[in-house]
Amino acid sequence: MPQKPRLGKHSSRTRRFRGLLLLLAVACAGLCGRLLWPWPKAEHWDALCHHRPSVLLEPYAFANLAICIVTCTSDNRHYCDDPKRHVALVESQLRTWAADALRFGANVLIASDAPWPAWATPLPASVDYQWFSVPKPSCLRLGFERGRPREGVFRPESNRTRQVLGYAWKELPSTIQFFLKIDDDAYLRPHRIFPLLQHLDPARPLYLGSVRTFWGALDPVHAEAANASQDRRAAPSILEYAMGGAGYVLSRALVATLVSRFQSCRLYNGEDKDLAACVRACPDAEILNVAGFWYGPPETAPPQQRDSMISFHKLNRAADMVRIHKSFGMHANCARVDSGGDFV
């Protein structure tokens, strides 16, 4: 009588069973470890987190940095789409990352198109608020052909960035070595930009940010309609520019040259391209690509790179600023954060 074939000890069924047992053992070990050695409570993070950036920084680590926040607060809808939202964003910046920057000696300026609203939270005394009047729409014309798929309105922040840089150069002390421009819907991580600036020479004309290449015709802005007709078919150009919303940095040497050339540099629509066009006209200007100025919120960045970012952009609500601050701020509740911004 033929015998039935015997299953080997390493059959597929046996391997699956052993794998299941191993998985179960690992899960039990992790659960037991979490119960026996739980994570400390929030009030205990200070005792454990000696590596946090605020411990490693000197009291006036950011004293040579001027941070220029560009916003709008005007009730005129031609200039500002939603003043209440922009005010709320600035207020959340001042409660989060800007408060950390001020604590370590940074100079924070806010540039707007109208006075700070009376209904808003009063600004800290350490914040320099300046507002610059915007010319009437009838006084500014865009030099591009109608019907082309381009912006059809003048963006006042194009000129406001020039104005705040001119003010900062004139009014701030000569100890300021770097000027950082950023929008009100962006979150800056000062402890990420600080180590980089330590290794840069402010005497060199440096322009650094998330550099992109623009292919096309820039939109010139004119004070008279007669001049606008001359440039309706502007020649296409290739322009290397640092994206403005997430922020860019200018060295003192470059700002000195820019301020002296603003009157002769043609004004273009879109502040980042406008400034880059003027930078291009500066002799020996050096453009440094720093990919850490991220164009969107943290969730749009690769998980392995989020904690290395210098800034995040396009935060539409004040609550988003606070949420990001909890995971990516200088203190981050004094907890370690991994590359995804999660507590570990």
Other CB atoms within 10 A of residue 298 CB: 21
**Domains of the chain and any CATH numbers:** 53-334 (3.90.550.50)
Weakest-pLDDT range from 47-51, 207-211, 247-251, 252-256: 47-51
Average confidence (pLDDT) over 258-268: 90
Q: What are phi and psi of 211, to 5 degrees?
A: -80, 135
Q: Is the pLDDT at 300 greater than 90, yes or no?
A: yes
Q: How far, rounded to the nearest angstrom, does the alpha carbon of residue 154 sit from its chain's CA centroid?
A: 23
What confidence score (pLDDT) does residue 317 get?
93
Q: CA-CA distance, 197 to 194, in Å (whole number)?
A: 5
Q: How wide is the angle at C-alpha 176 spanned by C-alphas 269 and 321, nearest 5°?
A: 60
Q: CA-CA distance, 238 to 218, in Å (whole number)?
A: 10
Give percent helix, percent strand, percent coil of the chain, each to the nearest 5.
Answer: 40, 15, 45
| CA distances, 70 to each of 24, 164, 233, 272 (Å) | 55, 8, 31, 12
List, in sequence order, the alpha helices (H) in 173-241: 190-198, 225-228
2 confidence band (pLDDT: 50, 70, 90): low
Q: What are phi and psi of 69, to 5 degrees?
A: -95, 120
Q: Is the pLDDT at 332 greater than 50, yes or no?
A: no
- Where are any strands of DSSP class E within the chain? 65-70, 107-112, 128-131, 141-142, 178-183, 187-188, 206-209, 211-216, 221-222, 237-242, 248-251, 286-289, 311-312
Instruction: Between 153 and 251, name the one with better pLDDT.
Output: 251
What confidence score (pLDDT) does residue 10 get?
53
Average confidence (pLDDT) over 189-205: 93
Q: What are phi and psi of 206, to 5 degrees?
A: -100, 140
Most confident among 40-54, 214-228, 265-279, 330-344 (mean pLDDT): 265-279
